[in-house]
Structure 1
Amino acid sequence: MPIILNENEQTGTASIFSQKKKIVSPQFFSRSLTGSGKKRGLLNGAFLPCIDKAKVVRPPIQYPYKKVTVTTGTSTFEVIPLSLYIQDRLEYDELPENAECISPDTVPEDQRYYLSLTMDYMILGTDLENKHKSAYCSYDIGIICKNMYGKYEMSVTSSLCIDTGFITAQSPSIDVNMVNEYVNRLTVYDLVQATAELWDEGIPKIMNAMLETGTDIDIIVNFCRTLNNYSVNLTDYKYIYNSIQQRYPTALKAASDANLNILLNVKLEMLDRIKPDIATFNPVPWKNSDVNFSPEQITAITSPEPCCIVQAGAGTGKSTVINNRLKYLQQCGVDLKTVTVLSFTNAAANHIKEIAPAVKSQTIASMINDIYSANYSHSLSTPDTIINVLQANSELMEQNHVAHKVIRAFDKMKENTNAGLVALSNIVSSQFTELIGLLDAINQTTLELESIICYHAADQLIENTTLCRHIIMDEVQDNSIFEFIYIISYVIRHKASLYLVGDCSQTLYEFRASNPKALNCLEMSGVFECMQLQTNYRSNQNILDFANLMLTNIEANQYAKIQLHANDFHTRPFDEDVKVTYSNLPGMRKLKESMPNMLLEIKGWLEERLNKDEQVAFLAYRRSDLKVFEDIIKIMFPQASFINIVPAKNYQQTFFSKYIRLMGNDYTHKAGNDAAVEIMRHILSNKEKIGVYNDNADAALKKSISEWMTKNRELLAAKDMALQNGVITLKEFTDHAFQTLIDYEIEKNALKLRLTSMRNQQKKEQDISRYNFVASTIHSAKGLEFDNVILLYNEHDSGTEEAKRMYYVGLTRARQSEYILAYNTNKQSSSIMTAYEAVCAGKSAPDNSNVSINTDRIGNEMGETA
């Protein structure tokens, strides 16, 4: 029986899971801000505000209030703005929480002065030659008098220099020693931590202050734009949207253009207004097949609502629901030719085509590409190739000023996807004609530009003549926020129904711009009917109970509140199905050396599974750990079969475009020479300048040159003959030669992507059930299931929301049993072991069906970093 979760009742074994206040760490601003004010990390206990900053190298940045990375010479600088305040002066009804009294106790309460110290910005520098790192900090010092009704005056300083003249001139006088004592006991970690908490809690207060005081629209828009860089609470965005809409409606368009989360709220309200006009169908009694569906599945399959979200937990039969939703629509008289199913992968899209050939099935990227290709002939390229091509063409850069903005937007995307997309969106909306002219000139585009152009120019573009009346989207948690905006806009334009299926807690692809908060925003909007699938058809209840502990404290699950329960009755003891061991390592780099002992300790468990002819999967975050596991297993069980199912990575090559950008002006063709050989020799003689530093890169470059020469040598010879005959100029010849390099690079990258995708799909579709051992990253194992699972659990890095979602996926892959190999460098007790022991104690109670465990703190117990 499942553990009963009770937020109010606390039992002896459950007290460990009691509520703990959410902790916002300095990594709210940047993952570079490691450390916790102790011995290790950038923000260690020795990093004090009053260090000598004259020794720290600073970049030539006049206004460091944008989150950017700048490279000058041999140094790279990461600029991290920290100040929440947009104006020099804001009024509050109460003192800031971190303000400390700096007046003598004898001074009357209403005349006392308070000091408040907050971070302004940080600049992290890295010398690329010797890898030396340094950090520069700037602070805001506030002197507040309570009888001024909390007026907060700030003086921005480049270092902590207290103006003693100002202090001593006050009446009553301010105790300078108390000021110095306050400042000297603070570490940079303390300040960044406090500032992160201000960001996490103070955004609505700041927006309210700006709106009440009639702040200029440009400042409000800039504030909204800045929020793109940080993980802001959804409720804060909802507040910002509602506040601007109600109190400053003329600023809403500009604010939504500056921030995708605000734009998503705008689109959701528009969707809510047109819901009565959305295509529906006449529901009929469902002609059920012989399959025994659960009531929650039947509800999801037959819902007549025009906007639905099926919040489907791991192993709850998402594919079954989608397949039968299509059958039900057909039973209700819907022509499947008017149904579009959008999947996250090509493999999933192909599966839908097999079971329902009439349905239009594709990925959202291919849907947008189809629309774009029907209107423009640009080749699909990559941001890096476009940047290189633009920077190599000085004439085009001078003639078309939007080129500089495109380059900056692409660079910004590398730092923050949403901020980069906002920048591209602003270019498309304000300089559409110039941008299309630029893309025409280079005959290139990117997936990002395609989606934004199709969004802004939707009313002008030719679309497929087949009418789309119903849209079904699978694995929606993996879509980006802009993809949600695009699809909702598409639905509004075509008055189509929208049926979404996914699980926010399984969002793993944030490096591809997927964001669980985007789906959360839809869940909390009130526009969609939300239905939960919580019956798991894969794992036994013991496995699910342990996964539920993690699931309860995943932030993305705050609206669905999914808790999984098994489809069958299970009586095995908990500690037979779920086991946890903890290894205390002398250092995180010692994992590779420790893994043989970790696996040797569970050899008996492994032998027991092999003797029962059961499969064992090893899941880890890093690919390198899988190789270590493979080597050990092949020694321990030489007769056992083994397969690694991790897909190959696809690396985009930009050798040629980078060569043209950096060395193109140095190449001069001599009429009558073999131009292909000339270019080959020029590239190879400058290969270090284009980033070829190792044997693998050297081999890849030489292979690319060989393929390019095979395809273009004769063409260049013909162009050379035209040059000799005076038909074309030397510049025209060089431009043509370089264009062949660019065309090859674009085609090569597209071909590599297709081949890698095809091979990876073949690898995933092969029959892996016949192997004794399977190795996979947790990301690659998503959607798969195995008899038994060994999960490598890095407790040190398990506290982030991203890590909690990843380990939740890992904890829900096993059918029969799982073994968690946890490790850390903490000499004290392990949090995951403590949680595990508490569950074991609860499960061993005489009637474990009545054990009540408050699991609110389990995200901290199982995922708190050391």
Structure 2
Amino acid sequence: MPIILNENEQTGIASIFAQKKKIISPQFFSKSLTGAGKKRGILNGAFFPCIDRAKAVRPPVPYPYKKVTVTTGTSTFEVMPLSLYIQDRLEYDELPGNAECISPDTVPEDQKYYLSLTMDYIILGTDFENKYKSIYCSYDTGIICKNEYGKYEMAVTSSLFIDIDFITAQSPNIDVNMVNEYVNKLTVYDLVQTTAELWDEGIPQIMNAMLETGTDEDIIVTFCQTLNNYSVNLTDYKYIYNSIRQRYPQALEAAANANLNILLNVKLEKLENIKPDIATFKPVPWKNSDINFSPEQITAVTSPEPCCIVQAGAGTGKSTVINSRLKYLQQSGVDLKTVTVLSFTNAAANHIKEIAPAVRSQTIASMIHDIYSANYAHNLSTPDTIINVLQANDDIMEQNPVAQNVIKAFEKMKENTNSGLVALSNIAGSRFAELVNLLDTIRQTTLELESIICYHAADRLIEPASFCRHIIMDEVQDNSIFEFIYIINYVIKHKASLYLVGDCSQTLYEFRASNPKALNCLEMSGVFECMQLQTNYRSNQNILDFANLILSNIEANQYAKIRLHANDFNTRPFAEDVKVTYNDLPGARKLKEHMPGMLLEIKEWLDKKVCNNEQVTFLAYRRSDLKIFEDIIRMMFPQASFINIVPAKNYQQTFFSKYIRLMGNDYTHKAGNDATVEIMRHILGNKEKIGVYNDNADAALKKSVSEWMTRNKDGLAAKDLILQNGVITVKDFTDYAFQTLIEYEIEKNALKLRLTSMRNQQKKEQDISRYNFVASTIHSAKGLEFDNVILLYNEHDSDTEEAKRMYYVGLTRARQSEYILAYNVHKQTSKIKAAYEAICVSKCAPDINCDPKDTDIIENEMGETA
């Protein structure tokens, strides 16, 4: 029998994947700064900072301290504000780690000077027409010396060049040769990396230096706003929160409004304070005869704590625990009508309704929408439609002072979701009535605005009649930080218990603003009782041992420390259940032409599965890779059945609102004419101006125009008669006509979303067991399981936290066996291949000359353990 790796062996092999020391590179700020494969990024190589005033180049963007992408003409500029220095003087208890001594040894220690050089900002420019890249830099120069109190005082100046004359003029104790030698050997790459390391390790020190120096509320708030730009360690946020709360409590509210992570810490402390008042129940002995539960599941099901987090690893029975939790609450005397279960998907919510009809089951978005709809009569729209409508209406832009701020906040959301949410939240917090008035005027809202308005008006909004005393949330790792803030605020208001179930290591939806750090923040807060589910009921131990290698190196798992164990013992050799092949590709775009060879290499394995009538599922990150796999498999196995279960994407249409914004002023209605024909001709005659460049978009536009004409022909004709009678003006008529376009666009998008969701759910629920081959993206396979899995593993991108979490999900889908097709570009060695071979040795697989006596000993030890 193969060996189940003990913790020491597992940790040793996992170190193959782990970095010996966390390496921070310019990619911390943007992948645009460095290249991929053989491509050289603009910072790779000898790109030196400017030290000549005459060569300093002014930035092409007026205010380079907002993280945005700006397009002018044929050029796009990616603006990256990098500086953490909000004030120009700081007082450190200890010398900053990046400080370079610039005084000779003859100078006394307490009179020596030090130099700190980091980046202020970088702007990357791309001229698409001339295919030319450019870079604009600004630098922070910090000059440090000890003051009379023994503190290290740093004066910071920002400039477009490093002014050596200015540095050396600060004191006769500064050696010009030492300055020149240090500055001349630095590249911009070095400075960006140093700045990234400052973001990763130096934030608490900078925060303390600001407070030691003496600061004001505005600077603290600006500092907290700046932290929204990039990823900051949770422990740093905890330090910042505690520092402000203890030393500048008057600034805490404003700081929390500027940064969602700080706001989350504020809400967690309030939750801790009201825990004694939260609804509880009297626990009773659990009666269950249906399923044999593990001790960890029983603990999770029966916990009487008012605030719980069930840290549930892949395949550990999350749904079973939630279903049983509902039964246990009922056994303990809880009326299920007072229980709300919030799921991530409508399908999961509907499942709860089926098994527990009395429970209020929905998604968090629908919960917020119900509350919002009970108070406001706004149509649910999209940010792009609202932007277009506002920009097309000069009267609204002039009369409502928050309109421009709403547009800026939505635009900011495209660059950084949390920064955009903070901006919207600040509008709601300071100008609530004006914001609601604006939405009343356009009769539109968005999911983001709904949650923010419900949060800020929580104490005065009408809520549905159902009485909530207990909240259960499933798949919480996929919730955004603001959704956590909203729910905790809801719990504080209603003094309801909160029971969270999820796995940080399976967070895949960061493009929807989900963030594993949000749940990590709750885990480390001390407010919640944390319980682990580590027994996997899906995969055998061989598969789990391999998945645990990646799991142990996922940053999001740092608090739960989940390590998966199979529910039963496996008698097969490790190399029979898990296989890895590695391919070194000659170029980043060579996968398509090499995939036939990669699959041909495992043809024997595939033949065996097909002959045994076993299903094989192919998982990959990109949809395009699934199509390549499908084409090859259809040629290799022409008689085999195949299904792709990837859901269709939903694309929002903004043809009409964009037309009104860009071309509305050019349309003039002539009384007596058919307005639908006029507008149709005007739209189609200017379709390129609203972004219609291909046949698919052209067909979609024509279909939408036709549907709109059919729906509104009679109404506009009736309105035209009123115009002819002089009751309304041409402008009134045009406004009415344009409003029908907007209403159609909103309804069309809502209908498309419903239909796409319904079709995708039907696709996910269909019986796929009759197919020989299944293809899916890793994201779409989350929550599913398959007999045999082929996982396409791109080793080049596998070191990022997002990639680790994604491949962990991929590696925990198989029940019986998995085959990892790993590849990289111009890399002769492979980490995943090395780890695989190390496990084969450690598990004493039969093909590694294992002594049968050792196997007997292992079996005996496992029996005793069991």
What TM-score, normalized to structure 2?
0.94
Residue 522 (structure 1) shift? 0.7
Residue 42 (structure 1) shift? 2.9
1:526/1:108 Cα in 2 relative to 1: closer, same or farther (>3 Å)?
closer
- Paired with 2:504 and 2:189, the residues of 1 have a C-alpha distance of 31
Unaligned regions of 5+ residues in structure 2, if any? Answer: 845-849, 859-866
Residue 17 (structure 1) shift? 6.4
CA contact (8 A) 1:2 1:565 kept: no
CA contact (8 A) 1:649 1:756 kept: yes
- Paired with 1:728 and 1:835, the residues of 2 have a C-alpha distance of 77
Residue 30 (structure 1) shift? 2.5
Q: Which residue of 1 aligns with 2:200?
A: 200
1:121-140 aligned within 5 A: 121-140=121-140
Q: Which residue of 1 aligns with 2:366?
A: 366
1:537-593: CA deviation from partner (whole Å, max 9, x where unpaired): 000101000100100010110110000000011121111111111111111111111
Letter in 2 for 1:819: Y
CA contact (8 A) 2:52 2:162 kept: no
Q: Which residue of 2 aligns with 1:825?
A: 825
CA contact (8 A) 1:476 1:519 kept: yes
1:329-348 aligned within 5 A: 329-348=329-348
- Paired with 2:856 and 2:719, the residues of 1 have a C-alpha distance of 82
Q: Which residue of 2 aligns with 1:352?
A: 352
Q: Which residue of 2 aligns with 1:487?
A: 487
Q: Which residue of 2 aligns with 1:856?
A: none
Q: Which residue of 1 aligns with 2:446?
A: 446
- Paired with 2:295 and 2:54, the residues of 1 have a C-alpha distance of 69
1:169/1:314 Cα in 2 relative to 1: closer, same or farther (>3 Å)?
closer
1:784/1:54 Cα in 2 relative to 1: closer, same or farther (>3 Å)?
farther
SS of the counterpart of 1:571? coil
- Paired with 1:125 and 1:737, the residues of 2 have a C-alpha distance of 41
SS of the counterpart of 1:523? helix
1:727/1:56 Cα in 2 relative to 1: closer, same or farther (>3 Å)?
farther
Letter in 1 for 2:159: T
SS of the counterpart of 2:409? helix
Letter in 2 for 1:251: A
CA contact (8 A) 1:64 1:81 kept: yes
Q: Which residue of 1 aligns with 2:472?
A: 472
The structure with higher relative contact order (CA 8 Å, sep 6+) is 1
> Does 1:155 find its partner at 2:148?
no
CA contact (8 A) 2:50 2:56 kept: no
Letter in 2 for 1:5: E
Letter in 2 for 1:86: I
1:825/1:849 Cα in 2 relative to 1: closer, same or farther (>3 Å)?
farther
- Paired with 1:205 and 1:17, the residues of 2 have a C-alpha distance of 30
1:54/1:607 Cα in 2 relative to 1: closer, same or farther (>3 Å)?
farther
More moved, 64-73 vs 440-449? 64-73
- Paired with 2:627 and 2:816, the residues of 1 have a C-alpha distance of 25
Residue 506 (structure 1) shift? 0.3
CA contact (8 A) 1:39 1:45 kept: no
- Paired with 2:95 and 2:582, the residues of 1 have a C-alpha distance of 46
Residue 713 (structure 1) shift? 1.4
CA contact (8 A) 1:617 1:789 kept: yes
What TM-score, normalized to structure 1?
0.94
CA contact (8 A) 1:123 1:135 kept: yes
Q: Which residue of 2 aligns with 1:167?
A: 168
Q: Which residue of 2 aligns with 1:320?
A: 320
Letter in 2 for 1:171: P
> Does 1:804 find its partner at 2:804?
yes
1:154/1:657 Cα in 2 relative to 1: closer, same or farther (>3 Å)?
same
1:217-228 aligned within 5 A: 217-228=217-228
Q: Which residue of 2 aligns with 1:411?
A: 411
More moved, 184-193 vs 488-497? 184-193
1:168/1:413 Cα in 2 relative to 1: closer, same or farther (>3 Å)?
closer
CA contact (8 A) 1:798 1:804 kept: yes
1:547/1:676 Cα in 2 relative to 1: closer, same or farther (>3 Å)?
same
1:620-639 aligned within 5 A: 620-639=620-639
1:550/1:147 Cα in 2 relative to 1: closer, same or farther (>3 Å)?
same
More moved, 397-406 vs 29-38? 29-38
- Paired with 1:185 and 1:36, the residues of 2 have a C-alpha distance of 25
1:175/1:55 Cα in 2 relative to 1: closer, same or farther (>3 Å)?
closer
1:86-125 aligned within 5 A: 86-125=86-125
1:716/1:276 Cα in 2 relative to 1: closer, same or farther (>3 Å)?
same
1:233-248 aligned within 5 A: 233-248=233-248
- Paired with 2:135 and 2:411, the residues of 1 have a C-alpha distance of 23
1:555/1:27 Cα in 2 relative to 1: closer, same or farther (>3 Å)?
same
- Paired with 2:14 and 2:546, the residues of 1 have a C-alpha distance of 14
1:850/1:216 Cα in 2 relative to 1: closer, same or farther (>3 Å)?
farther
Residue 494 (structure 1) shift? 0.8
CA contact (8 A) 2:90 2:213 kept: no
1:15/1:671 Cα in 2 relative to 1: closer, same or farther (>3 Å)?
closer
Residue 19 (structure 1) shift? 6.8
1:208-232: CA deviation from partner (whole Å, max 9, x where unpaired): 1222333010000111111112111
SS of the counterpart of 1:6? helix
- Paired with 2:818 and 2:717, the residues of 1 have a C-alpha distance of 64
CA contact (8 A) 1:37 1:190 kept: no
CA contact (8 A) 2:84 2:226 kept: no
- Paired with 1:359 and 1:540, the residues of 2 have a C-alpha distance of 35
CA contact (8 A) 1:80 1:122 kept: yes
Residue 331 (structure 1) shift? 1.0
CA contact (8 A) 2:17 2:549 kept: no
Letter in 2 for 1:221: V
CA contact (8 A) 1:596 1:632 kept: yes
Letter in 1 for 2:152: G
CA contact (8 A) 1:53 1:136 kept: no
Q: Which residue of 2 aligns with 1:385?
A: 385
Letter in 2 for 1:330: Q
Residue 104 (structure 1) shift? 4.3
- Paired with 1:156 and 1:38, the residues of 2 have a C-alpha distance of 34
1:660-686: CA deviation from partner (whole Å, max 9, x where unpaired): 001100111111111111111111111
Aligned CA RMSD, in angstroms, stands at 2.2
SS of the counterpart of 2:462? coil
SS of the counterpart of 2:589? helix
- Paired with 2:566 and 2:27, the residues of 1 have a C-alpha distance of 37
- Paired with 2:291 and 2:786, the residues of 1 have a C-alpha distance of 23
Letter in 1 for 2:65: Y
CA contact (8 A) 2:53 2:163 kept: no
- Paired with 2:113 and 2:238, the residues of 1 have a C-alpha distance of 36
- Paired with 1:288 and 1:473, the residues of 2 have a C-alpha distance of 23
1:721-776: CA deviation from partner (whole Å, max 9, x where unpaired): 21111121100000001001100000000000000000000000000111110000
- Paired with 2:37 and 2:185, the residues of 1 have a C-alpha distance of 12
1:530/1:807 Cα in 2 relative to 1: closer, same or farther (>3 Å)?
same
- Paired with 1:36 and 1:162, the residues of 2 have a C-alpha distance of 34
- Paired with 1:183 and 1:533, the residues of 2 have a C-alpha distance of 53
Q: Which residue of 2 aligns with 1:861?
A: none
Residue 459 (structure 1) shift? 1.2
1:87/1:848 Cα in 2 relative to 1: closer, same or farther (>3 Å)?
farther
CA contact (8 A) 2:51 2:164 kept: no
1:245/1:108 Cα in 2 relative to 1: closer, same or farther (>3 Å)?
closer
CA contact (8 A) 2:17 2:550 kept: no
CA contact (8 A) 2:342 2:362 kept: yes
Q: Which residue of 2 aligns with 1:231?
A: 231
- Paired with 1:166 and 1:354, the residues of 2 have a C-alpha distance of 72
CA contact (8 A) 2:56 2:160 kept: no
> Does 1:834 find its partner at 2:825?
no
- Paired with 2:181 and 2:674, the residues of 1 have a C-alpha distance of 75
1:345/1:435 Cα in 2 relative to 1: closer, same or farther (>3 Å)?
same
- Paired with 1:14 and 1:90, the residues of 2 have a C-alpha distance of 41
1:588-737 aligned within 5 A: 588-737=588-737
SS of the counterpart of 1:458? coil
Residue 848 (structure 1) shift? 8.0
Letter in 1 for 2:539: S
CA contact (8 A) 2:14 2:552 kept: no
